[in-house]
Amino acid sequence: MDGKVAPIFHARSRPHQVEEEAVRRAIYLSRFAHGHLYIVHLTTSQALSAVQETHDGGFPVWAETCPQYLLLDETVYLGEGGGDFIATPPLRSPKDREALWLGLAQGGISVISTDHCPFTKEQKRLGMERFDRIPNGLPGVETSLPLIYTHGVYQGHLTANQLVAAMSANPAKIFGLYPAKGALEVGSDADLVIFDPQVEFTISAKALHMNTDFSPYQGFTCRGAVQLTMLRGRIIAQNSQFCGSSGYGQFLHRRIFEPDNCQFWSTHEKASSSAGGPAGQED
């Protein structure tokens, strides 16, 4: 490795061109096979352009990104504890980060997921001497909604409706769970999240419930917090405490995705407008 083993070389060994080439190759093969394509963990403006061009041309391709690519950048690899932020693909530049927000607002990116990986600091630092030995992935499922609301809706990158589409309705449609999931209507599962946009808090790993001892967003101030969560009409979490019961989850049979039958949220909604396959398993 020629001595290039510090965390920053995790990013430099996986340049933008690699992601763009992989995305364009996947699109080419998918079109050749007349299939649908779902691209996970999109991180670069170049790869986003490839998806947007293909989607605008009418071919069924969808992309997803994660909170870390919207909120962090590769400069964290240069700081103390930089290895804690190792994930694949790596964090990118501030320019890419802004491109991803624009991609969400304009419809080039359809889904925000977390790729939640709750490694501890001790586990991360098993590879402290070489970046290629550090467990890949970041924790973030518990903080995802407040962070995306704060940096997306509150800061004007997205509308509330676009947030709900990217984090609920669109993934439910793409993965064949709609309208049981991803909708609030007669016949749906009455899955609800009560979110108070007026609450302010600072993220601290000590106050979180994730099975890890650190958060990549330690010290981030959030505007808005989840107050109550319901699953199929039953309260399972309230005031940051789990109050559900073991065994209440259900096995979910997913249908084949038929994009022509799914109406996705408008991709050009102005940010100033009002808020408004295989089997799966519920969490």
Is residue 32 predicted with pLDDT exceeding 60?
Answer: yes
Cα dist from 31 to 6, 35, 199, 263, whole Å: 39, 6, 46, 22
Predicted local distance difference test score (pLDDT) of residue 279: 35
In three-state secondary structure terms, 65 is: strand
Residue 257's pLDDT is what? 81
Provide the residue ranges of all domains of the chain, joining segments of one domain with +.
8-185
Assigned fold of 8-185: TIM Barrel (3.20.20)
Burial label for 87, CB within 10 Å (0-12, 13-18, 19+), is: buried
Q: How far is CA 103 from CA 40, 212, 213, in A?
A: 14, 31, 32
What rounded mean pLDDT belongs to the chain?
91
| DSSP 8-class letter at 257 | P
Element (H, E) at 103: helix 94-106
Express each pLDDT in 138-194 by its tens digit.
Answer: 999 999 999 999 999 999 999 999 999 999 999 999 999 999 999 999 999 999 999
pTM of the model: 0.91
Distance CA(173)–CA(79), nearest Å, equals 40
C-alpha torsion sign, points 203, 204, 205, 210: negative
End-to-end Cα, the chain, rounded Å: 41
Contacts for 13 with CB less than 8 Å, ≥ 6 apart = 4
Q: Quick: pLDDT tens for 230-276.
A: 999 999 999 999 999 999 999 999 988 877 766 665 444 544 333 33
Instruction: Return d(Cα 261, Cα 263) in angstroms, integer.
Output: 7
pLDDT of 220 above 60: yes
What is the Cα–Cα distance from 48 to 267, expressed in whole angstroms?
15
Q: What is the pLDDT of residue 259?
A: 76
The confidence band for 221, taking pLDDT boundaries of 50, 70 and 90, is very high
Query: Reduced to 3 states, what is the DSSP secondary structure of residue 106?
Result: helix
